[in-house]
Structure formats: structure tokens, C-alpha cells
Amino acid sequence: MKRKLLGVIDATTYHENLEDLLTHRSLAALPFAGRYRIIDFVLSNMVNSGIRSVAIFPKMQYRSLMDHLGSGKNWDLNRKRDGLFFFPSPIVDNDGNKIGSFEHFAANLDFFYRSTQEYAIITNCYTVFNMTFNSVLNWHSENGCDITEIHHKDGRPMEMYLIKTSLLIKLIETRNETGYTCMKDVVNDLHNDFTICRYNYEGHAVMIDSIENFFSTSMNLLQPDVWKKLFIKEQPIITKVKDEPPTKYVKGSEVKNAMIANGCLINGHVENSIVSRGVKIGKGAVIKNCIIMQKCHIEDNCYLDSVILDKDVRVEAGTHLVGTARSPYVIRKGTKQGALMNS
């Protein structure tokens, strides 16, 4: 399997419904579950499938993504042969919601020419799921497919495609003649000459495409049965390792049904919430149904319910912020929220 399958992750997608969380980062680098980034799921799935060559195709705002992934060491992808590759898009105005842009691939065609893997798996960067691609490859071969599109069990296309690398190269080279701009164009063309197959994935999978969807998917992680479907011991979700001290819970603090990452200082009450690394929560503060990202500082006697705080947000003492599950209150990265700002 190690030399059979090439991993290709399209990290160009931008969803306007996530704008408040994407002003400083790409969708692939969106923090999730306290210590992960969205891309960790598909990248870990590839590594757990024995894939040792992964190409990531980002577009804009990819500095935080590159900082997170680095050389790929945490995923065992810092190799002399194969490994982790970044190919930023040279096209600024291309359609960022077409997975597997042939124009983007064409600008880096030498990479595909040099690849020794017989097959390629092309995926989006924003699906939260845990699967290995071995079964897809076996099913693809057994059924004589030219292209296999992975669908969720509810019938939704998951924007993931398995294809022979040689056929992928041909599609890239002939894009101007065929008019195909991406993989979706090919599988949706009823008049093509390819054998298009659909593989149904039966596991848990959510495509993050809006604030509401991001919030509900995160909150669902607090349910043990959902957590167990995503975080499987035999198929670990790998992320960037950070050496930080354990979280300190001050006397009088209270935590109920919450995920708290390392390096935090908890003085207040935290309930049904996800708290990332290095967060400080002051005395008398009440945090309910919230997502608090890295290094936020919530001062004394604040009340937050159904709120998303992006990284490095400071909430001044006595501030009350209340959203809803369908419309969480979002504070952008690096801003300050004070009591006098509330209406």
C-alpha cells in the first residue's frame, strides 16, 4: 500500500459562511476539538492508510497551515523520498470551491510525472471523519472502475476521488480539449467514456462549511458515542505536538462535560464547552456551550453562552455574551471584547 496510493489534498476551498473564522487562516487550518486543525483528519487518514507521499494544494492565507504542518514530522512525512509537499496556487481568481482544480495541478505537473504511486486519492481538506482508504482502493480495483467517487451513507458526495495517476495526468493534460476543470466535472459528465463508481462510506463524517455547522459538529464531540467514532485508538488523528504544562484548576473552579486542553488556568465555571491550549478563565466567570480557542483570556465575572472565541481574544471583566446554537456569537481573532461594547 505504501507505494500504491498518492495523497492529494485540495486546501483552496473558502466558505463565505465561515468568514469570521477565516480572516487570518485557510479553512484547512481552522482549529477544532481543542488541539487539532481540520486538515488533521484527512491527513491522518492518509497516513493511517499507509500513504507516504502527500501533496497539499493551498491557495491563500496558508501561512498558519504551513506553520502547523511544518515538514510533516508529526505525521512521519519528513522523508528523503516522497513525504509532504506544498504547491500554492499561482491563480488568484480561480474557483476555490472546485475540488481538484486541473489548472492548479497543471502548474505542478512535474510532481505527478515523478510520482511512483499507481493511484491517487484526491480529497477536500474540511471533512471531519476517520477512515482508511485501503478498502476504497480494493473496491475500486475489484469493480474495474476508472474513477471512484466516495459518498457518505446518506448519499452526499464527500468530494473525494480515487483515480489512476496516469489517468489523472491525462485529464490534466487534455483539460483544454475536454473542457473539464476539476474532478467533479468528470464524474458529473454523463457522456464520458469512463467507468465512474460510487463507494459508500458508512462511518461518521461531517463537512465543515458554515459557522452553525462548525459549532454543532464541535459540540457533538462532547457526546461519548460521537467522540468514539472519530478518535479511534487503532487509527489515531495526529496533530502538531506542543510541549505544555498540564491545565491548572484553581480551588473553587468547576468543570462539567467539557474538553480542556493543556496549559490552561481555570478559575471559573466551565460547562459543555471546548477549551483550547493556554486559555485563562477568571474567577467567577461562567462559560457554557462555548468554543474557546488558543490563548484566549476571559477575565473575572464574565458570562458566555453559545460563544466562539477565536485565538488570542481578551474578554474584559464583567462582560456578558450570549448567542444561540443556530447563531453562536463569534469574536474574531486577536480582538478585545468589553462590557461597554455589549448592547
Q: Can you spell out the DSSP letters for 17-47?
A: GGGGG-SSS-GGG-EETTTEETHHHHHHHHH
Q: Do 190 and 138 belong to one domain?
A: yes
Residue 154 per-residue DSSP state: T
Residues 271-286: pLDDT tens digits?
Answer: 999 999 999 999 999 9
Q: Are residues 216 and 258 in the same domain?
A: no
- pLDDT for position 343: 37
Residue 151 pLDDT > 90: yes
Whether residue 159 sits in one domain with residue 77: yes
Report, in angstroms and rounded to the nearest whole number, the Rg of the chain calculated over CA atoms.
Answer: 21
Beta strand pairing call for 274-275 and 291-292: parallel
CA distances (Å), 192 to each of 6, 167, 171, 325, in order?
24, 13, 12, 44
Contact, 238 vs 39, CB < 8 A? no
| Structural domain includes residue 38 | yes
Percent helix, strand, coil in the chain, to 5, is 25, 25, 45
- How does residue 298 score in pLDDT terms, banded at 50, 70 and 90? very high
Q: Are 99 and 170 within one domain?
A: yes
What's the domain range around 12?
A: 5-230
- Give yes or no: residues 63 and 199 share one domain: yes
Those residues with Cβ within 8 angstroms of residue 40's Cβ, 6 or more apart along the chain or in another chain: 32, 237, 238, 239
DSSP H or E stretch at residue 67: helix 63-69
What's this model's pTM, rounded to 2 decimal places? 0.95
Supply the DSSP symbol for 194: S
What pLDDT is recorded for position 244? 86
Do residues 75 and 116 share a domain? yes
